[in-house]
Structure 1
Amino acid sequence: MQDTRDPPSATTDGIDESYRAEPTLDAEAVPGPGAVGAGTADSRGTTATEPTPIEPTEPTPIEPTEPTPIEPTDAAETVDAMDRVRSLVGFASGSPFVAAIAAIETVIATVLLGVPLSPAPAVVGLVAFAVYTVDHVADAAADARSTPERARIARRYGDQLMIAAAVAYGLAVALSTLGGPLALGVALLPGAFWIAYASDWLPNAGRAVRSLAPDDGLAAAPRLPRLKEVPVVSSVVVAAGWTIAVTVLPLAFADAAVSTPTVAVAVAYFLPRSFVDTELPNVRDVAADAAAGVATLPIVLGVAGTRRVLYGVDLLTAATLAAATATGVLAPGLAAALGVGIAASLAVTALAGRVDDDAVLGVAPDCSYLVVAVALAFVAA
């Protein structure tokens, strides 16, 4: 077989010359030993120049600038406006609304009693505003669950609201003096009823009695509750206070007799109606009242049982109006206008426990008096 390999190269000292890899150096490509260094000559005879020194410069001071104010966006303005509207609605649906309804009730009572219009509606309205404002501020923590917006306003503006309540009650007392001693006493009565209803005077009295007789059985007696915590009694106390104010104050300003059949009919109308108006919001406040240890009809009887009781109260009121009309004590047109209010109350009672927005039960019951006022206006026309 023919050998196709190249012939071997000449060898030196036994090493194939073709595999020697000795590098060839370019004398000009390699700097001499003195090439590095300032001012020294390199292998080509050139001299390296010294680098130009960099002078340090003072840093330029940065002037502080005013932060650019962030303009509120349309969305932020909208949210702020909605918050103001909610606050206004929450405030208006509280004591101002109750005060307006109380004044309207007094006008209805004035027409029912047949006496001239007087400052009585203004006095009752101012007293109602003062009493309910103080109550809302005092119970703000307990109301946070049932009426959060009203409770938030009461907590945020508590001092201002208390001042407004004091001014309102002062104006009411000043106006009531125009009607004489009876009017003044009636104007002070709702405040006294509120103290008896909501304050701790009864529990404190019970503690004082127990402390005076530690060795007797009184020491182990249970705590006496506030009237506000007693079912039915609490609502009766509230209803009685406002019924007396609404019916007696117009008579006091007119210097009219308080012992007449018409006055009895007025009391028989406003007392049970006020009881219903007081108990219906308790359906909304079940959780808050239970947490505060306040017993109400909805807690004791349940919502369905409360509806049946309130139906019975309204129907009893309607029967009273029918009897007064039949005996000639009450004019048919006036009885019909008052009956429209009872029908509205029955409709609102039917909503108890059946509406998603429980706040309706805090406003709708009082709106029945607006219906009565409109009906009376038609009757008078």
Structure 2
Amino acid sequence: MSSNVFSGSLRSIFKHSRTANSSHYEKNATLELLKSSILVAFSGALRIHLAFLLLNIQSSMLTCVAGGLIIYTVYTLDRALESEEDSVNRKELNGSNKKVGLRVSLLAFVIGTYILAKEGAFELAFIPFVTGYLYSKGIKVGRLALKLKGGLGIKNIVVGLTWGIFIAGLAGRGYGNLVPVVMVFIFFGVKLFINSAIYDFKDIKGDTLAGIKTLPVSLGTRKTRNLLLAMHLLSHLIIGIALIHGILAFEPLIVLYSFVCGLICIQKFTNPGNEEFPSQKLERTFLVDGESTSIMGLRMVAGALIA
């Protein structure tokens, strides 16, 4: 065998190896993209169920599932529509097949919208979908450009308003009294504003490079922490008064756990974004994204003990 043939064979082997490794990496990154929003969607579905409980309305499982699918759509769509800061903040998604993410998210949206249409809440599906697109990509007509990402605290306000309206709207549609629905909106809107700001602390580096003026980037960690604490205390004070006066269903465990968990998260996870250890990431995921799951588990245990 000549040296040219031998070297050619080696090049072919290494090329095949690089191609195989690249394909394997893309599959893993694509899987991470598809998995990355599942916990958020599940948590969101449970928050809709909690909203039904606070309004003392029989919960609709189909509504909760549809809501979870819409939430999955919006967050997967945001991650599939590549952004500069995600290349730093979410390195595990680099190299993923964005087209697969777009197709799966749109399929989830179609299914979720179909269910909500059957439940009489068709229009609510489009509030987070349209807002999410305006946030991620924006629209441009001539010289006029509208994009919600970038301004001071805009991201957090968009998250709080969008999901507060979505959750309160799904649970409280057709409810005769608007005041309890507004209370539910305040409870979840403020909580999700705070949760999004907490995640901004770990994304300071990527957001700074992308020029996104999140609260920690613009105000600094101390002022942002104090703002979140004030919002947390005020919102839970309002909800506590609503519970005492019978405006909301008497669900003290939901509000108390939310209050304590929120205090822990603000204190523990509002430090500059250094590299997280796996145990720290798991703890943050459990306390922030897993809060509604924990509340439901505790409520079931408490109900069994009382019974």
Q: Which residue of 1 aligns with 2:123?
A: 185
> In structure 2, do the counterparts of structure 1 residues 186 and 164 end up closer, same or farther at CA, with 3 Å as the change threshold?
same
Find out whether 1:245 has 2:245 as its counterpart. no
Bigger CA radius of gyration: 1
Q: Which residue of 1 aligns with 2:78?
A: 135
Find out whether 1:322 has 2:240 as its counterpart. yes
Q: Distance in 1 between matches of 2:292 and 2:256?
A: 11
Equivalent residues of 1:338, 1:372 under 8 A apart: no
Q: Distance in 1 between matches of 2:146 and 2:127?
A: 22
Q: Distance in 1 between matches of 2:126 and 2:59?
A: 21
Question: Residue type matched to 1:227 in 2?
Answer: L
Q: Distance in 2 between matches of 1:85 and 1:353?
A: 33
Equivalent residues of 2:72, 2:108 under 8 A apart: yes
> In structure 2, do the counterparts of structure 1 residues 88 and 348 end up closer, same or farther at CA, with 3 Å as the change threshold?
farther
The alpha carbon displacement at 1:145 in A equals 1.4
The alpha carbon displacement at 1:262 in A equals 2.1
SS, match of residue 165 in structure 2? helix
Q: Which residue of 1 aligns with 2:113?
A: 173
Q: Distance in 1 between matches of 2:125 and 2:75?
A: 14
Backbone CA RMSD of aligned residues: 3.0
> In structure 2, do the counterparts of structure 1 residues 373 and 88 end up closer, same or farther at CA, with 3 Å as the change threshold?
farther
> In structure 2, do the counterparts of structure 1 residues 260 and 200 end up closer, same or farther at CA, with 3 Å as the change threshold?
closer
**Which stretch shifts more, 339-348 or 370-379?**
370-379
Which of residues 274, 281, 295 is equivalent to 1:372?
A: 295
Q: Which residue of 2 aligns with 1:104?
A: 46
> In structure 2, do the counterparts of structure 1 residues 229 and 241 end up closer, same or farther at CA, with 3 Å as the change threshold?
same
Find out whether 1:341 has 2:284 as its counterpart. no
**1:115-165 C-alpha deviation (Å, 9 max, x unpaired):** 22221111111111111111001135431212211x22xx32211111101
Q: Distance in 1 between matches of 2:26 and 2:297?
A: 31
Q: Which residue of 2 aligns with 1:196?
A: 134
Q: Which residue of 2 aligns with 1:281?
A: 199
Q: Which residue of 2 aligns with 1:115?
A: 57
Question: Residue type matched to 2:242 in 1?
Answer: A
Unpaired segments ≥5 residues, structure 2: 1-8, 10-24
Matches within 5 A, 1:166-315: 166-180=106-120, 183-201=121-139, 204=140, 208=143, 226-252=147-173, 255-257=174-176, 259-315=177-233
How many aligned residue pairs are there? 277
* Bigger fraction of residues in helix: 2
Unpaired segments ≥5 residues, structure 1: 1-66, 68-82, 210-223
Q: Distance in 1 between matches of 2:207 and 2:291?
A: 25
Equivalent residues of 2:167, 2:185 under 8 A apart: no
Question: Residue type matched to 1:239 in 2?
Answer: G
The alpha carbon displacement at 1:190 in A equals 0.6
Which consecutive segments of 4 or more residues in structure 1 shift more than 6 A?
Answer: 83-86
**Which stretch shifts more, 337-346 or 225-234?**
225-234
Question: Residue type matched to 1:143 in 2?
Answer: D
